[in-house]
Chains A and B, each alone.
Chain A
Amino acid sequence: MADNNSSDNPSGQGQGRAANSRTNASQKSAADAGPPTVEPTVKARRDRYLVAARPLPGIQPMAVDVIANTLTNMPDVTIVKHVRASGFGALSTGGAGGGMPEIVVAEMDQAQGAALRASAPPHVIVERDALLRHADDMTMAFNNAMTMLPGVGIDIKLRVVGTGGQPLPKASVYVYGLGFPGQGNTDDRGEVTVTVFGGTIETIQAIYVKPASDYWDRMFERPALSDGVNTLQLQSFAATFDGFPQAAYLGWGQQLMKLDQIDAAFTGQGAKVAIIDSGCDSSHPQLTHVTRGMDFTNNRDAASWARDTMSHGTHCAGIITGASNQVKGIRGFAPMAEVHALKVFPGGRFSDLIDALDQCITRQVDIVNLSLGSSEVSELVAHKLVEARQNGIACIVAAGNASGPVQFPGTEPSVLTVAAIGKLGEFPTDSYHARTVTPGLVAGAMFSPKFTCFGPQIAVAGPGVAIVSTVPGGGYASWDGTSMATPHVTGMGALLLAHHPVFRDTARARNEQRVAQLFALLANAGVRYLGDPTREGTGVPDLQRVAGLAAGAGTASASLGVASAGAPLGDAFGNRITFGAPQSPFTGLGINTHLAVNPAILQGLLQLRSAGLI
């Protein structure tokens, strides 16, 4: 049960990290501690707990003073009040000296409270001082006409700022209360007021902030909100990756696939790549070389493909072909490839996909990125994909993000279908990226994100969590999805088509055999991290494992199959479970679980640890 990531590519990690100058965000905040430039960001709301002696026959009840002293000595615990009860049934019969047990009401954060409950001795009661609700809030809402009347909303005033307190406009803010979430976008001052119905300010469960660009998203759970303006602070990419985007940043996916270890002359020159998506903002400093396209949402217009209102195509384009122009920024796989942006979103349907694939055939494209899918199946699209393959066009297709079986057209045998894989330590723990991790799907530092579709059609996996790439307007965003995994494989495919010797001679002919040869090279180069072929196929393609591409790569397996034995998923006892993989920007936030510990005990220890009690 080796940590495949570290055993398979130690040199890759080392070199990659050297290329990036990363900083642990939490460390940087501490190091930069000076005069505050911004009022404190919203913190997690603290819970109230009731703590009292539990009378047990033959056991001396714990004195209230002892309970109060214990709580007082705990860090960050505040005693709010004492409640002198007048009788609680069984409790009332066992108090010392016949009196009622006194209850200490204390505030602490949720993790501390959970730890306190887990560690409480039998003769001490610890329970949450939960909010009371009207009975009809829970059971009568759909029966009682009174409760169907529109309630009075509460306005949550928020200000979203960066690390230095600068306002962040155009950030999407979602507020989750007891009912439907409220949503709004920040104005030029970074401010937004979101109205939510059906609860008080204390019932707000979470606030999610998705910045327009250049910052990590952030989930504020159980936020402690006031009636005034509440400040939500986000962390910039520049704080994580020093000097970004002026300084070069090599994505974790590019490192995993060893893009930094190939001949610098391998730039994809000569390969034709099509991206069938939402267009591509070619005014982005890293995408100015993208000059070809067609807009199928606008009567095949030859110019409007550059207006990407969804950002999706521009993000995919950065992964495939992001080039170091005015800024270093990210590194795409094939910056010298000839890229064709074929726009079908928003509003794309099967007929648009057929037209776009026809255009690929006409333009003699070599490889197509299809970060799209449908819940339905099309016989006509399936025929067109076969025709494309017969014309030597390799279609690389996303598996889907529905957490279920692979979606069409990823189900078609004529294409190469890509699942997503994630890596711990590559994103802040309070970002939405962290929510894609499911404990049972972690193996070493790698994990299969909960959203990825799976099944026997999965050929390979690509990096698909916390992928930083280009977005319209000149910025960058970190996104998740099989949509992000797929362009990693498309970009590598373009490199192979442009530079692998096997495509220089007979296989250069545009036919089905060429596509089959490319798919075999990609699959052969796979490194398995998870041990589950239905979630990763033959693994993540590794440029160093492609026989014949680069010096020293001759050790790669010559036959289609498993390139490395992966750790099985969900082995929580033999593998490292951590949000802080070695040398990652978010280190020091995980634990080792090499010992075989009962999961319940482990959970208790985790709670105590997170509460600062051990």
Chain B
Amino acid sequence: MTNGSAERGNLDQFIVAARSAAAGEDLAAFEDALKSVPNAAIVSRGGRPDQPHLVVTLSSQDAQQLKSRFGPSLIIERNAPLNPL
């Protein structure tokens, strides 16, 4: 037996936002698509009403697949940690 998340890599946080105001519907479509991804979850919703973004947990493999599908209209990037310098 293999663990689904192990096959897909470790879970990580990603930010998802529309590339333009016209792509707002794609963010909703992304949210729908997320429901069928094992172990994926929405961590938080942020951004101004006219610029909403999602913070989600995904495996890196699932993130790549979603990028290939939504990449033209959505920015999907790792929600990397910041460091005080």
Do A and B interact?
yes
Contacts of A407 in B (CB 8 A): 85
**Complexed CA–CA distance, A278 and B60 (Å):** 29
Confirm or deny: A3 has a beta carbon within 8 angstroms of a beta carbon on chain B: no
Smallest distance from the beta carbon of A525 to chain B beta carbons, Å? 23
CB-CB under 8 A for A378 and B46, given A351-B15, A351-B53, A398-B85: no
Confirm or deny: A379 has a beta carbon within 8 angstroms of a beta carbon on chain B: yes
Confirm or deny: A373 has a beta carbon within 8 angstroms of a beta carbon on chain B: yes
Confirm or deny: A352 has a beta carbon within 8 angstroms of a beta carbon on chain B: yes
Whether the Cβ atoms of A351 and B75 lie closer than 8 Å is: no
Confirm or deny: B57 has a beta carbon within 8 angstroms of a beta carbon on chain A: no
Whether the Cβ atoms of B15 and A373 lie closer than 8 Å is: no
- 478-500 of chain A: CB within 8 A of chain B: 481-483, 486
**Complexed CA–CA distance, A151 and B44 (Å):** 47
Interface centre among A350, A352, A358, A379 (most CB of B within 10 A): A350
Confirm or deny: A263 has a beta carbon within 8 angstroms of a beta carbon on chain B: no
Residue of B nearest to A410 (CB): B85
Whether the Cβ atoms of A372 and B47 lie closer than 8 Å is: no
Whether the Cβ atoms of A348 and B77 lie closer than 8 Å is: no
Interface string of A565-599 (1 = CB under 8 A from B): 00000000000000000000000000000000000
Contacts of A371 in B (CB 8 A): 84-85
Whether the Cβ atoms of B15 and A376 lie closer than 8 Å is: no
Interface string of A390-405 (1 = CB under 8 A from B): 0000000010110000
Confirm or deny: B65 has a beta carbon within 8 angstroms of a beta carbon on chain A: no
Set B44, B47, B75: member contacting A379, Cβ < 8 A: B75
Contacts of A483 in B (CB 8 A): 84-85
Set A310, A350, A358, A375: member contacting B79, Cβ < 8 A: A350
Q: How many positions in chain B have a CB within 8 Å of any CB in the partner chain?
A: 20
Contacts of A344 in B (CB 8 A): 82
**Complexed CA–CA distance, A360 and B13 (Å):** 24
Contacts of B79 in A (CB 8 A): 349-351
Whether the Cβ atoms of A482 and B81 lie closer than 8 Å is: no
Interface string of B1-43 (1 = CB under 8 A from A): 0000000000001010100000000000000000000000000
Whether the Cβ atoms of A372 and B84 lie closer than 8 Å is: yes
Interface string of A373-387 (1 = CB under 8 A from B): 111101110000000
- 455-501 of chain A: CB within 8 A of chain B: 481-483, 486
Q: Summarize B's interface: helix, strand, loop or mixed.
A: strand
**Complexed CA–CA distance, A486 and B84 (Å):** 12
Smallest distance from the beta carbon of A83 to chain B beta carbons, Å? 54
CB-CB under 8 A for A350 and B15, given A372-B85, A373-B85: yes
Confirm or deny: A354 has a beta carbon within 8 angstroms of a beta carbon on chain B: yes
Confirm or deny: A277 has a beta carbon within 8 angstroms of a beta carbon on chain B: yes
Contacts of B13 in A (CB 8 A): 349, 351
Set A313, A354, A372, A401: member contacting B15, Cβ < 8 A: A354
**Complexed CA–CA distance, A278 and B85 (Å):** 11
Set A278, A354, A355, A379: member contacting B84, Cβ < 8 A: A278
Confirm or deny: A353 has a beta carbon within 8 angstroms of a beta carbon on chain B: yes
Whether the Cβ atoms of B80 and A310 lie closer than 8 Å is: no
Contacts of B15 in A (CB 8 A): 350-351, 354, 378, 380
Confirm or deny: A49 has a beta carbon within 8 angstroms of a beta carbon on chain B: no
Residue of B nearest to A375 (CB): B80
Whether the Cβ atoms of A374 and B82 lie closer than 8 Å is: yes
A sample of 23 cross-chain residue pairs with beta-carbon separation below 8 angstroms, ordered by A number, consists of A313-B84, A345-B82, A345-B84, A348-B82, A349-B55, A349-B81, A349-B82, A350-B15, A350-B78, A350-B79, A351-B13, A351-B46, A355-B46, A358-B48, A371-B84, A372-B82, A372-B85, A373-B82, A374-B80, A376-B78, A380-B15, A400-B85, A483-B85
Chain B residues near A (Cβ < 8 Å): 13, 15, 17, 44, 46-48, 51, 53, 55, 75, 77-85
Q: A350-B78, A379-B77 are in contact. List 4 more A-B contacts (CB 8 A).
A: A351-B13, A371-B85, A374-B80, A380-B17
